[in-house]
Amino acid sequence: MTITLHQLNSCTASHFVELLSGIYEHSPWIPQRAEVQRPFVSLAALKIAMQQVVAQASGQEQLGLICEHPDLAGAAALSGELTPESTGEQSQVGLLNCSPEQLDVISALNSAYRARFGFPFIIAVKGPDGRGLKRNDIISAFMRRVKNQRAEELSECLQQINRIAEMRLNDLFNVTLEFGNDIMAQAEVIGSWSDEAVGLTCAFLTPAHRKTANQLAEWMCAAGMQVSIDAIGNVVGRYLSDQPDAKTLITGSHYDTVCNAGKYDGREGILLAIAVVRHLHARGEKLPYHLEVIGFSEEEGVRFKSTFLGSNAVIGKFDLSLLDKTDAAGVVMREALTEAGHDVSCIAAIARNPQDILGFVEVHIEQGPVLLQKNLPVGIVSSIAGSSRFLVEFTGVASHAGTTPMDMRKDAAVAAAEIILFIEKRCAMVAALVGTVGQLQVPEGSVNVIPQRCVFSMDIRAADNLVREAAVAAILQQIDTVCQRRGIEFSINKIIDIPAVQCAPWLMNQLQRATENAGVPVVVLPSGAGHDAMAMANITDVAMLFTRCGNGGISHNPLETMTADDAELSAQIFLDFLRQLKPQA
């Protein structure tokens, strides 16, 4: 049976509950409570309303909802006692046809999971793209999640239930995604090209990187854009307005990755923009401005330890001295560019004229848990956190671990540990202030020698420059205090100091209207991660739209995920934003 939003909005309350009775497993109280919010302006609004009912339910009700779900490939499933919805879902991914060995593994996991948490393991077996997870992927997720803490797993189960409900609603409304499936499928294609045999690593100008650039160019061309790959490897597609003297709105993100990366960081913003342009082109629809989609060649700094190479070239701030940097294999950047067919003498010509640009709007996976916790598919970015990064080295005295009394030691590692704990405590004092020690070494350390040296990195970020600078000052003062007390020498090397970037209100407001038009509540949040928008803010106003990140908000990790439905909604919002965009007066 297929229904329409009009039917749901106009029927009786009891019929509303009846129509949605199979969406949440044996839980009619969810549509009952959501019904009072009618009329719903969109299917997205209905989904969010029901998800908010779940979020606002009591702990006992939430646990009851989880326990209404059957075990995967359990006795009820194998004997045909599930709801039609659950039967179809488990059947689609082959859970009703497991081998005896797979059944034994799943049965053992079901028992271990229930013993640990007291409720059944729940996963949306149709997966992020709705096409179904492989049985081995389901087992892998099972084995990973059984190690979680109970509160963490309760939250994950509820999120998985909401995803199941979302796909059931799609089936009920006979929804065909205009953009989301293509975005996910193309991310899979380029996500399979890696510098490493296992996982996704796509560093600047490697064979995988160059192959990805060529594929993006091909997709841009097929979408109706004029396409080029510039001298730094940026893939540039221009969708021209009928007004030749029009200004240009720029969008896009980076296509390089960190080591062992997720598939959507950066790449979502490129693929989504291509999908939207393809939609416009197929309808012969032009915009009153040129739209330029840029796949920035480098943002992560993996190969040459220099970030934002692509976007810095676009803003005219590429440091030509970087061409002489070498990678870990001794390859010079200049040589790598030349070998890839790029003319380094043309890098300066990449710079855009700020007078020709309307603004820069980047769509990006959130890379964090805020939207997930709020049960919202998208959010509007208010600012991008500034970052202060340092390498700190402590030097004490190496001495025998067995003969040196504790009160006579000059232990560099203990001094470092005291500072690391201070960083954690100081940064926890202020919301949206974070501090990370991502590297920690005891050079030439030995199990029976008091550490003479300890080296660690320090990354302090905040959306407010004054907050970040105050935290840095406090930490540097604490380093001095601790080292004086412990008789430790220290050196501090500042690596980068990037100020925070504020998004332009006039662009944010128009993203907000497009979000509201989609029936989605507006949430504004800062970005703790750096983005190409930070560089672009040097020459034009910027804004960002975040897409919800799954798996607890994990990013820079193979577990990074989003859904085709969230990608779809982001694309629809971005399309509406483009159509309604009014330049700043």
What is the chain's pLDDT, residue by residue, as a tens digit (585 residues)? 789 999 999 999 999 999 999 999 999 999 999 999 999 999 999 999 999 999 999 999 999 999 999 888 766 665 666 677 776 777 777 777 778 888 888 889 999 999 999 999 999 999 999 989 988 898 999 999 999 999 999 999 999 999 999 999 999 999 999 999 999 999 999 999 999 999 999 999 999 999 999 999 999 999 999 999 999 999 999 999 999 899 999 999 999 999 999 999 999 999 999 999 999 999 999 999 999 999 999 999 999 988 899 999 999 999 999 999 999 999 999 999 999 999 999 999 999 999 999 999 999 999 999 999 999 999 999 999 999 999 999 999 999 999 999 999 999 999 999 999 999 999 999 988 999 999 999 999 999 999 999 999 999 999 999 999 999 999 999 999 999 999 999 999 998 898 999 999 999 999 999 999 999 999 999 998 889 999 999 999 999 999 999 999 999 999 999 999 999 999 999 999 999 999 987
Residue 31: predicted pLDDT: 97
What does pTM read for this prediction? 0.92
Residue 74: predicted pLDDT: 67
Strand blocks (E) in 372-420:
378-384, 386-395, 399-400
Q: Are 561 and 549 in contact (CB under 8 A)?
A: yes
SS3 letters across 431-480: CCEEEECCCEECCCCCCCEECCEEEEEEEEEECCHHHHHHHHHHHHHHHH
Give the up-direction half-sphere exposure of residue 273: CA atoms within 13 A in the CB hemisphere.
33
The hierarchical CATH code for the domain 184-376+505-515+526-580 is 3.40.630.10
Residue 506: predicted pLDDT: 98
- CATH 3.30.70.360 corresponds to the domain 386-498: yes
Residue 79: predicted pLDDT: 63
229: three-class secondary structure by DSSP: strand
The single residue listed with the structure tokens 């004490």 is 396
Residue 78: predicted pLDDT: 58
The hierarchical CATH code for the domain 5-172 is 1.10.3330.10
- Per-residue pLDDT of 120-133, as tens digits, reads 999 999 999 998 99
545: three-class secondary structure by DSSP: strand
Residue 99: predicted pLDDT: 81
Cα–Cα dist 526/383, whole Å: 5
Q: Are 572 and 179 in contact (CB under 8 A)?
A: yes
Cα–Cα dist 555/194, whole Å: 17
What pairing do the DSSP bridges indicate for beta strands 226-229 and 235-239?
antiparallel
Map out the domains of the chain as residue ranges: 5-172, 184-376+505-515+526-580, 386-498
Cα–Cα dist 41/20, whole Å: 17
- Per-residue pLDDT of 344-396, as tens digits, reads 999 999 999 999 999 999 999 999 999 999 999 999 999 999 999 999 999 99
